[in-house]
Chains A and B, each alone.
Chain A
């Protein structure tokens, strides 16, 4: 027996062996392989059919409509959401209340219910008119049925509902910009609107981007609900195909794969946007500000009138 085996100061150090970890890992890998094998050799999966329909014209057209609804809705949601957020932060109590009611309503109603409701809006209001209210003359009158086809109903529904969520993201982002930034802008003689456009929004936008990217991914998948009102999106297109050829699983796999492809692309985009923002000096400044200056900022609260841009 050498001195190296008896002297604790000189003996070799052996870390603890994690037997449990190794066992769990092996079991899970075996289970996964079993599942993949079961899937790959499952006749119902029918890979040839999946390949056949992956680039099918109707499937691609459906995918196009899915992307269209998502893209238009998120753009409208951001613009309308910015307006609602500004209203929520306004000094005017009526604007504040209206924005609150809007957000409350569209967050309360389930998306599917809202979708079907919008689609059937003509039952509630047969015509949509522009004119002087309370019995005044009417300038434009349109049949609701003509105006709201299924695609329009889908876009309107997703836009309006998403605007409610986006307005909350934007409101929090605007409030995250330190009040000192506005005071500094005011002290330089900038008007309220200029302060918002040049100082507050550019900083708030950086905070809002990651959650909005997240919402976009969520929205994309939610659009599959439009199958309920027969908008030929990706989901509805594969439904129509499998209802005639009964190859249900292969066609659902086609839809699944396409959703995964698009979400993956969006996720990669989100990753790069977030990485860029993480390294941004603005973020660093915010962290520095909360570390060093909390509680040191001078003066009392701003009067309510200074809080708002418009």
Chain B
């Protein structure tokens, strides 16, 4: 029985530089997994590979039994068309470090853009649901504001609502609090914690070790493009970590 999300031997190179080196990770349905590690370890790239924002050079990614981005045909993995990739991405929500809300649309328009435009849902339904999602992240009163009128923390919570509006099977968070002022971090982390209780499968790249220990079931520690250690998040302390390099990293950041 294979896992819900299964990365097998994925490798990503830029020219001669190997940024992700033979990484295999298996994640069960409903699990929350944090990717940890120093800058340049390849954590964000792994996340972007799952969402096909980066093209993998080797290996495979299977989500819920479906091969992502490629199809085995006549002895080779053939890349899917843009349209097929777009369809697969509908099931994967992503939250970016720099929020990336559509600057020319209001908060509400940001949330309903893809449900109406891509999933062809009725506009009235999409609006009603958008209000619900915005309420969940505590921002329904900002529905008519433009992204530039919101703080970073508010923008990130809208970005979470926007991703959830597509009803994804899987949520990816790429350092969701790294671009935020310190006093705004907790609002975003609370929104993610609340989400974790709903049973959605999540992969989070983060530098917030305390948050990772609290919200995630397991951690994956990466360094120089490789997985160094993986284990239950309770083990995220200098004393409990098994690998020496994980301990070294934790002793610096904790």
Contacts and interface: CB of A to CB of B under 8 A. Distances in A.
Interface of A: 178, 180-181, 183-192, 194, 198-199, 202-203, 206, 281-282, 284-286, 288-289, 292-293, 296-303, 305-306
B182 to A, nearest CB: 14
Interface stretch (B25-33, B86-94, B212-220): B86-94
B21 interface: no
Contacts of B14: 300-301
A298 B174 contact: yes
B75 interface: no
Most A-side CB within 10 Å, residue of B101, B118, B148: B148
A280 to B, nearest CB: 8
Contacts of A178: 100
Contacts, number: 120
A285 B146 contact: yes
B174 A194 contact: no
A300 B83 CA distance: 23
B117 A187 contact: no
B103 A299 contact: no
B8 interface: no
Interface of B: 14, 19, 44-45, 48, 51, 53-55, 82-83, 86-87, 89-94, 96-98, 100-104, 113-114, 117-119, 146-149, 152, 159, 162-163, 166, 174-175, 178-179
Contacts of B101: 184
A189 B83 contact: no
B98 A186 contact: no
A298 B97 contact: yes
Most A-side CB within 10 Å, residue of B55, B87, B117: B117
Contacts of A191: 82-83, 86
Given A184-B100, A281-B149, A293 B179 contact: yes
B45 A202 contact: no
Nearest to A195: B86
Nearest to B114: A188
A305 B82 CA distance: 9
Contact of B90 (A189, A281, A293): A189
A188 B147 contact: no
A286 B175 contact: no
Contact of B114 (A189, A289, A299, A301): A189
B54 A299 contact: yes
B146 A183 contact: no
Contacts of B100: 178, 180-181, 183-184
Contact of B118 (A192, A194, A289): A194
B44 A189 contact: no
A284 B174 contact: no
Contacts of B147: 281, 285
26 contacts: A178-B100, A181-B102, A184-B101, A184-B159, A187-B93, A188-B89, A189-B86, A189-B118, A190-B114, A190-B118, A198-B117, A202-B104, A281-B104, A281-B147, A284-B146, A286-B103, A292-B152, A296-B97, A296-B178, A298-B96, A298-B174, A298-B175, A299-B54, A300-B48, A302-B53, A303-B55
A298 B83 CA distance: 25
Contacts of A305: 55, 82
Nearest to A300: B14
A184 B147 CA distance: 14
Nearest to B118: A189
Identify the 5 closest CB pairs spanning chains A and B, nearest first: A281-B146, A189-B90, A184-B100, A188-B114, A285-B148
B103 A285 contact: yes
B104 A282 contact: yes
Given A183-B53, A296-B97, 18 more contacts: A178-B100, A181-B100, A187-B89, A188-B113, A189-B86, A189-B90, A189-B91, A190-B86, A190-B118, A191-B82, A194-B118, A281-B148, A281-B149, A282-B148, A285-B148, A286-B103, A296-B178, A305-B82
B102 A186 contact: no
A1 to B, nearest CB: 60
A278 B142 CA distance: 22
A188 B179 contact: no
Nearest to A202: B104
A225 B147 CA distance: 47
Contacts of A185: 102
A187 B98 contact: no
B113 A187 contact: no
Contacts of B96: 180, 183-184, 187, 298
